[in-house]
Chains A and B, each alone.
Chain A
Amino acid sequence: MTHSYYESSARARIAGLLDADSFHEWLPAADRLTSPHLAALEQSAAFDDGVIVGRGSIAGKQVFFAAQEGGFMGGAVGEVHGAKIVGMLERAVRDHPAAVLLLLETGGVRLQEANAGLIAVSEVMRAILSARAAGVPVIVAIGGQYGCFGGMGIASRCASAIIISEEGRLGLSGPEVIETVRGVEEYDSRDRALVWRTVGGKHRYLLGECDTIVPDSMEAFQRAIIACINNGEDWSLEALEREHQLLGDRVQRFGSCKDGRDIWRELGWADPDAIAMMDNDEFIAAAQGRRAKDLECADSSALEKRGDKSPHSI
């Protein structure tokens, strides 16, 4: 039997990913480090403020972790919640674990905490970069019900690597926010197929924001995390320039696309609608040479060989 990552609580994810009996929590629920902002608003406040931080091991390697609980206020980041993640990352700078693991499930800033929440998210971003600069890879996993949105969507892209499942979603403004601000004609948040075509795991994998896509099981996430720890980071100038080039070209290449489908066609997928029905292995195999980064690296002859008719291709 496989255990669904999507269906699990934050605590169940930690228990499922870490080596048995290696879990140690910092500032556990019994410390009652709850949100003063929610108390002031007379709202219920979770004992752990919706995030579990601590240390443990995966395949014998020491990791520090933070796991957001989507069930509590959609995993939203408040002042205490953010400070717990930042403290854990700063400790990683000092203690150098093999990796930091961020199990993100969040709509972004907790609106009840306004500026304190915004500052907390910016501090998380800075702390992620500090940990990486200190040589500690920061690995993000996204595969929960609430996806990863808002400021934490940006924070996740500050990390070394992102592992996502098909069910996972990654973005800045969430679907409901876009619909509220721009209208249902612009974006229908109840159109689930559209949502997954524009922020879903497969789309993020094809665009290159996520390095790894896995089936929705604890075991698959665990394997991918171990691989990320073992791979380390590519800090070469070439790698950084390649990444900048890729990001720079993106607006130009896909700027006129209205839908994920249009982007996939640009990437050389003859039948973009077939993507949604592919299982994970089938999808990864079919995506060989059809991700944004492949186009970037490929020379024009390779594009011709594949029969790419894209007007934007190099």
Chain B
Amino acid sequence: MENLKYRFDNGKPTQGVTAIVGVLGSGNLEVLVEPAALGGACEIEVKTAANGFDRIWQAVMKDFFARHRVGDIRISVNDAGATPAIVSLRLDQAIETYIAQGKIKT
């Protein structure tokens, strides 16, 4: 097990409602997105069963932040060996669900 933490500053504060997507099953991951007062930052915590992939996670998360530039958001990931492509898709799905659910509620 490895615990990885990332923080990206200067994101756009993004409204939404707590969302969870994906399943913690082999080759898959679950992503939980929650609102958090982080001064415009996006914090991401990853718990992964596969050790030694810190640099790849870093790259995937950097790409994610470049795509969405979301702020005031905490993302928690439980991973069971998903490939980078799957991780990217799940992150996109999670943030889209978070924003869409927020629009329904308001």
Residues of B within 8 A of A (CB): 1, 18, 20, 23-25, 28, 30, 32, 34, 47-49, 76, 78-80
From B25, B32, B48, A29 is in contact (CB under 8 Å) with B32
Which of A43-51, A182-190, A266-274, A304-312 has 4 or more CB atoms under 8 Å from chain B?
A: A43-51
Q: How far is the CB of B21 from chain A (nearest CB, A)?
A: 8
From A11, A28, A30, A46, B24 is in contact (CB under 8 Å) with A46
A4 at the interface (CB under 8 A from B): no
Q: Given A29-B32, A30-B32, A71-B25, decide whether A47 and B1 contact each other with a Cβ distance below 8 A.
A: no
Top-3 shortest CB links A-B: A71-B25, A71-B23, A29-B20
Q: Given A9-B23, A72-B23, A72-B25, decide whether A44 and B47 contact each other with a Cβ distance below 8 A.
A: yes
A-B contact count (CB 8 A): 43
Q: How far is the CB of A242 from chain B (nearest CB, A)?
A: 41
A42 at the interface (CB under 8 A from B): yes
A216 at the interface (CB under 8 A from B): no
User: With a CB–CB cut-off of 8 A, which chain B residues contact A28?
Assistant: 18, 20
User: With a CB–CB cut-off of 8 A, which chain B residues contact A45?
Assistant: 24, 78
User: With a CB–CB cut-off of 8 A, which chain B residues contact A167?
Assistant: none
User: With a CB–CB cut-off of 8 A, which chain A residues contact B28?
Assistant: 71
Cα-based distance from A44 to B30 in the complex (angstroms):
11
Cα-based distance from A48 to B21 in the complex (angstroms):
12
Q: Are A47 and B18 in contact (CB under 8 A)?
A: no
Instruction: From A45, A69, A71, name the one whose CB has the most chain B CB atoms within 10 angstroms.
Output: A71
